[in-house]
């Protein structure tokens, strides 16, 4: 695998500068989100460095750059498929058309930023599940790394088949079978182990506040539109996903 002058694998630079192995390992999100807010910093289940080490993706209890490379490649193949399957792009455009304010700057959640870096230009809706690529086999990991310098790796049929065969296991919170509930390590909310976790993130604009800093009618009008959309998404997403869906609204 070729590297940049700094020694960073090229895929990390070309496809997704973040997250690096260090950011994955420490499970933090600055500068993309408020680290004091539990939804921003709370990873789901910590990545297994022991499992990653068996695949050559960690040593001494630390993830290496190859972990980030494979995870970023996997994300770039998987997320467009999931966004299309769930039909999230149309809902995202509707939110924009309704004048809903999107998060920007340091308020952009890390998972939304990563989704954008994977080539998806959604402003509000994003998939929050972690990708535990240490659950792949050694042969599957090796196949990803063999394509790390291929700018067209997202269209490679072999990699696509790996993602098709493994994504539900790679996305689940706990690598166990069974219909049980789990949650963030912060305990902020709980969801089914096999659920796809979708966040809708919005922001508050100055025109939604009166001169005293209180919410005005425009804020409540936009909140009603968001609530209506959440209701519709809760109706359609479980069928599209063919399983459990956790849908959360995060106002930043």
Quick: pLDDT tens for 155-183. 999 999 999 999 999 998 777 766 555 55
| Structural domain spans, the chain | 10-251
CB 147 within 8 A of CB 156: yes
pLDDT of residue 188: 54
* End-to-end CA gap in the chain: 39
Place of tokens 């989100």: 33
Local structure of 32: helix, strand or coil: coil
Q: What is the pTM of this model?
A: 0.78
**Is the separation of the CB atoms in 36 and 30 below 8 Å?**
no
Give yes or no for residue 217 having a pLDDT over 50. Answer: yes
Q: How far apart are CA 220 and CA 224, in angstroms?
A: 6
Q: According to DSSP H, which parts of 55-190 are helical? A: 65-86, 88-97, 110-117, 138-146, 157-171
Provide φ and ψ at 196, rounded to 5°: -90, 130
Look at residues 144, 145, 115, 117 and name the one whose alpha carbon lies nearest to residue 127. Answer: 115
CA distance readout (Å), 20 to 9, 25, 213, 250: 10, 9, 39, 25
pLDDT tens-digit profile of 92-111?
999 999 999 998 877 777 77
- Whether 65 shows a pLDDT value over 90: the answer reads no
């Amino acid at each position: 695998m070729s590297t940049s002058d700094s020694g960073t694998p090229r895929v990390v630079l070309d496809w997704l500068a973040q997250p690096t192995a260090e950011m994955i390992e420490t499970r933090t999100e600055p500068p993309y989100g408020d680290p004091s807010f539990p939804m921003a910093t709370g990873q789901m289940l910590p990545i297994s460095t022991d499992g990653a080490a068996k695949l050559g993706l960690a040593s001494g209890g630390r993830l290496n750059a190859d972990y980030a490379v494979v995870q970023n490649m996997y994300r770039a193949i998987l997320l467009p498929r999931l966004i299309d399957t769930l039909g999230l792009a149309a809902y995202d455009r509707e939110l924009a058309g309704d004048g809903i304010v999107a998060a920007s700057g340091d308020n952009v959640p890390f998972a939304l930023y990563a989704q954008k870096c994977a080539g998806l230009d959604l402003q509000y809706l994003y998939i929050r599940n972690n990708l535990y690529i240490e659950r792949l086999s050694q042969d599957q990991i090796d196949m990803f790394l063999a394509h790390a310098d291929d700018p067209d790796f997202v269209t490679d049929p072999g990699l696509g088949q790996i993602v098709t065969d493994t994504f539900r296991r790679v996305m689940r919170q706990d690598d166990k079978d069974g219909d049980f509930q789990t949650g963030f390590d912060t305990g902020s909310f709980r969801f089914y182990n096999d659920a796809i976790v979708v966040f809708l993130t919005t922001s508050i604009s100055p025109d939604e506040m009166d001169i005293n800093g209180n919410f005005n009618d425009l804020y409540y009008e936009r909140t009603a539109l968001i609530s209506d959309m959440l209701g519709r998404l809760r109706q359609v997403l479980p069928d599209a996903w063919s399983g459990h869906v956790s849908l959360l609204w995060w106002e930043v």
